[in-house]
Structure 1
């Protein structure tokens, strides 16, 4: 009886301490699962939207466009036009500040408004921002970023939802850099990545971009990685 009690105590201690029983796979950094909605909720992206705070991982609550500004603040809007106007005002007000001026130079005048005219059509993206859309041809919801870094799209309710991408450099770049879409893979399979780095990146349909091993990039991106210079 004493031996059974000791065995039971040891088993309870082992399971409480996270010791793996025989046959269970060991967790490693390489095959650890990628960020889930639950994990995103522990480090949420909180946005200002119509005078209230919303957690983007839980949905946009009717917003059409959300912008991460160079300060790290995130704002959401009901329309692209409202977002573009507010973003243009913000960028103009901070044109000489460190967080904006270090990446742009004011020697080339931006196009009128923040939508950019090209080949007779208007691209719905604020100048010098990277824009992702969950619809083809720059439609649906729009998520846009300026600062470098890896943007975990699950935290913005955009994981596996990007269908088009656009960026144009307008303000004479100092370090306009590039970006890549990343699809996280598990186990021994390397992450998939596709890079963009032109002064105008114009991809109205990500299903036209081939995916390694077959398929395409539509609704595949788990993260957007941006670099400058």
Structure 2
């Protein structure tokens, strides 16, 4: 069975380690085309995907396909896409078979602003908590995909009073709709 259910998100027992230092060093300025954009101050402009390469380097792209090429993503090699196609080929009903997940390069954690991998996409891979406000993506998350290696979990955190706290994003999984409890309520990510 393709792991793509909301039940994959589990509660973590602790608050994000280093949350106070999240995104330390990132100025909010990202490379985009032949210039820069200040994500925090001016927003994304016409960028559709931003890749957080390190604590100080973010590269944005006009299209998801452009970012996928830069990260070496090949859809025919994607294990979740292969699993969904195999499930459909085995005769599983259209309603029960998983749809192909949206693109997320191997080794990365992808966040989308809309359900089903729609809208702007923000991509991470570093193992530290990062404030989404630094990337103009706070309280925006509606779907995610963790395409990092086996046992490489990610996490999301809502620090608001009465928020959901911390959730684990299991490796090699996709959640097409985080649901009302989590939708547009995420402050930080662990990629």
Asked whether the two chains share a fold, i.e. TM above 0.5, the reply is yes
Structure 2 equivalent of residue 192 of structure 1: 165
Aligned residues: 154
Structure 2 equivalent of residue 49 of structure 1: 32
Q: Does 1:73 align with 2:64?
A: no
Q: Could you say which structure has the greater relative contact order, defined with CA pairs below 8 angstroms and 6 or more residues apart?
A: 2
1:74-113 equivalent positions in 2, closer than 5 A:
74-88=58-72, 112=76
Q: Secondary structure at the match of 2:105?
A: coil
Structure 1 115/81 Cα, relative in aligned 2: closer, same or farther at 3 Å?
A: farther
> Does structure 2 conserve the Cα–Cα contact (< 8 Å) formed by 1:184 and 1:222?
yes
TM-score (normalizing by structure 2): 0.70
Deviation, 1:69, is: 1.6
Q: Secondary structure at the match of 2:130?
A: strand
Instruction: Give the Cα–Cα distance (whole angstroms) in 2 for the partners of residues 82 and 139 of structure 1.
Output: 16
Structure 1 85/114 Cα, relative in aligned 2: closer, same or farther at 3 Å?
A: farther
Gaps of 5+ in 2: 1-18, 86-99
CA RMSD of aligned residues (A): 3.0
Structure 1 157/115 Cα, relative in aligned 2: closer, same or farther at 3 Å?
A: farther
Instruction: Give the Cα–Cα distance (whole angstroms) in 2 for the partners of residues 87 and 53 of structure 1.
Output: 20
TM-score (normalizing by structure 1): 0.59
Instruction: Give the Cα–Cα distance (whole angstroms) in 2 for the partners of residues 56 and 160 of structure 1.
Output: 15
> Does structure 1 conserve the Cα–Cα contact (< 8 Å) formed by 2:142 and 2:178?
yes
Q: Alignment partner for residue 162 of structure 1, among 137, 141, 148? A: 141
